Structure 1
Amino acid sequence: MENLHQPTLRVIKVLETLKNCDEGLNISQIAKECSISVGTLHPILKTLCELDYLTYDNKVYKLSFCLNPELEQRKSTKIIIYYMDELAAKIKLNVQLGMLNGKKVIYLHKSEGNEKIALKTKAGDVANANATALGKALLFDKTLADLKRIFKKQILEQNTARTINNVNDLYENIEYCKNLGYSYEYGEYDDDFSCFAVPIRKNKEIFAAISVTILKFHLNDEKKEIITTELLNYKKIIEEHLS
């Protein structure tokens, strides 16, 4: 360490210290954590702020970008959940958050819009991507070749008699959904429910998807229009806050 450039090391120490601190630190806290005097630290912080590496607000310094992928994912998920809760309260239906893991969807969160309706899925559950609106939305960017690699078999697992059971039909359905801007399924995962979903993009890549679930016998054209319109509206809002 003796041969390393000490001024550069001080800058790195500051960035590394703030990397895992979501709430940020004031100058005294940073000085203590980095073992740098306040006098030496002040011009470093000022320069990093000027170059947009740090933000300064209410005497607290924070990274203006994230060096920790796990922390960045948690922050993004918190933003999505905030607006999911708002959407669920607005339309009084359950809203779910999912991410893709191979050919499965992992459910990460459910915002309760109507406690009288009990869904089969909960946070931590996994489901077949081909059987869910969430899964289809998460697959929006996949080519037919991608889908064949993901599912490996031409015949896909079915949850109900309505579940799409082959890759070619799944690809055609997803391409049709992309033109709509949202995906859907009517009794493909559970005979009693219908579901609509939109992908959530971050840095132009699909990061997650959110869905709205409704009992099939409650669904009509008016409710479908409300659900899909609000999903597309909140997709835009969320993506603006993730950018």
Structure 2
Amino acid sequence: MKNTEHNPTLRVLNILETLASNPEGLTLTEISEIINSPKSTILPIIHTMANKKFIFFNEKTYTYTIGINSFCVGSSYIGNMNALQFIKSEMEYVVKKTDEICQMGILEGGEVLYVAKVDSTNPIRITSSVGKKLPAYCTALGKAMLFNYSKDELNKFYPLGLKAYTKNTITSFDTLFEQLQTIKKTHISTEYGEANEELSCISVPLMNGHNIIAAISVSAPSFRFTDEKNKLIIKYLLDAKSKIELFFKEHDINNSQLILNK
């Protein structure tokens, strides 16, 4: 397989990794020796990184250490991890109260990517996997994240039209758009056998202001989706939504690309 790694970028990453492993600091000569790259090659890179505050130069000791902007980037990743941990704790509570699987997804183009799940203990339950993708228009999770898009934008997501996966799948853009307008008002998305005739799902978007970060849902075999069950699921999903969105606001979470530590 052809090596597609970009050498200048590799040097930047090697410098960061080296300084992160040596918090006491290193001289230019020491960095050069450790990453096996000539001083003349890495000097302009190091100057740029120092100017951008990704590394810090101590004029007294002539050593370099990790800078404030590297810390900020790392803190942003940690913030996302804390957000995921908080979301999963709320999902666990939803599962405890409904005894059905709870899943979280993010929107990638016209697809929903499943990034987290908490399984139920029910002997008859849905099996799912993190990392799978489904068309957003036929899932409650996906529709919970599509409602801010126009008809033209929806058409661009699905240039070949809306494929029918079951007899219940919405295949009309007008019908889909009309349903999305209702979801926009209620923030409750439903799907009854649209992707799989035997499964039903309810979902709510997770937002920070008008920005849709992700969505969480509860799915169950359709035969268990009674009116009473629906009301129970909606209650606990909305409760979780309120708590998670407060967390987003307090921690300024606006990144839709939440990455689960697998």
Question: Which of 91, 101, 124 is the matching residue for 1:94?
Answer: 101
Displacement of 1:235 = 0.5
1:109 aligns with 2:162: no
Partner residue of 2:220? 214
Partner residue of 2:91? 84
Displacement of 1:217 = 1.4
Counterpart residue identity of residue 18, structure 1: F
Aligned residues: 195
Counterpart residue identity of residue 238, structure 2: L
Displacement of 1:78 = 2.5
SS in structure 2 at match of 1:138: coil
SS in structure 2 at match of 1:147: helix
1:161/1:201 Cα in 2 relative to 1: closer, same or farther (>3 Å)? same
% identity of equivalent residues: 28
1:117-173 Cα offsets, whole Å, 9 max, x none, are 3425311111111110001001121121221121123x3112211011122211111
Question: Scaled by the length of structure 2, what TM-score is found?
Answer: 0.66
Partner residue of 1:142? 149
> Gaps spanning 5+ residues in structure 1: where?
23-65
Partner residue of 2:201? 195
Question: Which of 71, 83, 87 is the matching residue for 1:18?
Answer: 71
Question: Which of 124, 128, 135 is the matching residue for 1:128?
Answer: 135
Task: Give me the CA root mean square deviation.
Answer: 2.8
Q: Which aligned runs of 4 or more in structure 1 are off by greater than 4 angstroms?
A: 3-6
Partner residue of 1:232? 238
Contact 1:105–1:126 (Cα < 8 Å) also in 2? yes
Partner residue of 2:211? 205
Displacement of 1:230 = 1.3
Distance 1:73 1:150 in 2: 27
Q: Greater shift after overlay, 133-142 or 212-221?
A: 212-221
Contact 2:201–2:218 (Cα < 8 Å) also in 1? yes
1:16-75 Cα offsets, whole Å, 9 max, x none, are 3533555xxxxxxxxxxxxxxxxxxxxxxxxxxxxxxxxxxxxxxxxxxx3xxx554433
Distance 2:92 2:128 in 1: 17
1:183/1:161 Cα in 2 relative to 1: closer, same or farther (>3 Å)? same
Distance 2:95 2:147 in 1: 24
Matches within 5 A, 1:178-189: 178-189=184-195
SS in structure 2 at match of 1:169: helix
> Gaps spanning 5+ residues in structure 2: where?
1-46, 58-64, 250-262
